[in-house]
Amino acid sequence: MESRDRSPDVEPGSPTGAPGGDPTISSGPERAAALWSAALAAGFAAGIAAWLIGEATHEFFEPVLVETTIMGRTGRGPTMETSNAATLKNAMLAFGILGATVGLALGVGGGLVRRSARAAATAAAVGLIAGGVAGVVAAAAVLPTALRTDDFREDDLLRPFLIHAGAWVPLGVAGGLAFGLGAGGRRGPLLVAALGGGLGALLGTGAYEVIGGLAFPFARTDRAFSLTWATRLIARLCVALGAAAGAALLTGDRRGTNHPAPRPS
């Protein structure tokens, strides 16, 4: 009688004990550990990859030189308008790369939790596109106004935080969505995972502002691009790891309680 009561929880063809042959890791500590390890590894890989590509393309777009006359002397050089235009293009490129790598890596990470190559490939493709688009669109929407009013105090952390959050939270949402999709979430859990990715990116942005302001006071971490490679690396890692942690936290909290319901005997 005891074996009859327990048999519906494990079906033939299910190596992990998930119902219906789904190779998802079962609920409980094992799944939580898999979620966190996959998410954090993916977030770290995304941050490093985005930084490496970002450094290789740093200041890829240069300001247009225009003819100007200053104190009776005529010459060619960048103006504030052409410098801002170049910064915006570079930010759209860099943040698009960051969003694409975060979405790609978290999609793969979610698929690894599910132990499904097909799910990993699908989620990675969705994350790559959604994250890249989110990074580009968010930068294009947020930065033009910020670049026109670059006269705030260097000790003001709120304004840079709001600007960076506006540019980075959307790509965190895309990364969380990809992670939830890879891990096998349906509509509700997908939205929760996306919310987790966005909240994690928000907290990661805050961590970057605090670290930059306290540990690197001369690196101008208030700008779209800080002045040192180290702070640019920290920015990408904070956002990527934050999005990964948020997605894992809410995905695990939602799905970790979904134990298979026993069938009537």
- pLDDT score of 6: 46
Model pTM?
0.83
CA distance 179 to 244: 8
- pLDDT score of 76: 82
- pLDDT score of 42: 98
In order of 51, 147, 205, 264, the CA distances from 66 in angstroms are: 32, 19, 36, 79
- pLDDT score of 27: 58
Contact between residue 226 and residue 232 where contact means Cβ atoms under 8 Å apart: yes
Give me the residues of the chain with pLDDT under 70, please.
1-27, 150-155, 185, 187, 253-265
CA distance 57 to 42: 22
- pLDDT score of 152: 55
In order of 14, 71, 135, 165, the CA distances from 130 in angstroms are: 32, 49, 9, 17
Positive or negative torsion for Cα 6, 11, 12, 16: negative
